[in-house]
Amino acid sequence: MRGCVVQYTPAALPDSSPLHGGIAFLDRDGVLNIGSPDYINNPEEFVVLGNAPKAVGMLRRAGYRICVVTNQSPILRGLWDEHQLHAIHHHMRQVFLEQDADAHFDMILACPHRHRDRCMCRKPRPGMLRFGTRVLREGISCDDGESIGELHSNDGQVDWWGEKPNPSHSFDCMVGDRGSDMGAGWAQGLRLFQVDAASGVFPVVGRILDSENKGDDFHPVR
């Protein structure tokens, strides 16, 4: 099966940021930019949601690593290839840094698979979140065979009927506008913040930065 698209660009956190080790997993469309039912097909169609760069900068200044996790099935649908996705994300990085110098993405993971492929990385399965955690916190290589295998496995088990798992880190969170985002975060035991696709991540930043805020209630539908 074709692999997940990985862009790993770690950078030091801003000066004076707390070193709590938390990771903010962010969906892309409807969280960072205006989504489209016809997909975002080129950099020109990428339109930033209001204050999204400021939100990312605030999270990094508060000590969070940023990992974007996005389903991008147009690749396996044959609409465009990984090079086009890289062009879109290069543009995204530029726009965010232009608006906030701290709005850096430490990692971008994109699942190219369709629902019928039933891979471990397509949300609501948590493969991208698990892989991002292992790279950003545990320091494994992006070329680590065991982790890559887990990411692309189609036999990953999630007990959707069971209890929400315990998180590996209490600060970690998942921000998304859809149930599939919340399902992936739930399967990883994260704090969940579901946003309005018209406003994106900025309105929930205050809640994320409040370590006492447990996030939104959610239970996935199998």
CB of 130 within 8 A of CB of 138?
no
- As given in the structure block, the two tokens for residue 10 are 């770690």
Q: Is 196 a catalytic residue?
A: no
| Neighbouring C-alpha atoms within 13 Å toward the C-beta of 210 | 10
Beta bridge partners of 48: 33
Alpha-carbon dihedral sign for residues 94, 64, 59, 148: positive
Q: Is 27 a catalytic residue?
A: yes
Beta bridge partners of 65: 23
For residues 191 and 129, what is the distance between their CA atoms, to the nearest angstrom? 13
Q: Which residue among 29, 100, 102, 172 is the active-site one?
A: 29
Q: Which residue among 15, 27, 144, 172 is the active-site one?
A: 27
Q: Looking at the chain, which runs of residues are DSSP E strands? A: 5-8, 23-26, 65-71, 107-111, 173-176, 191-194
The residues annotated as belonging to the active site are 27, 29
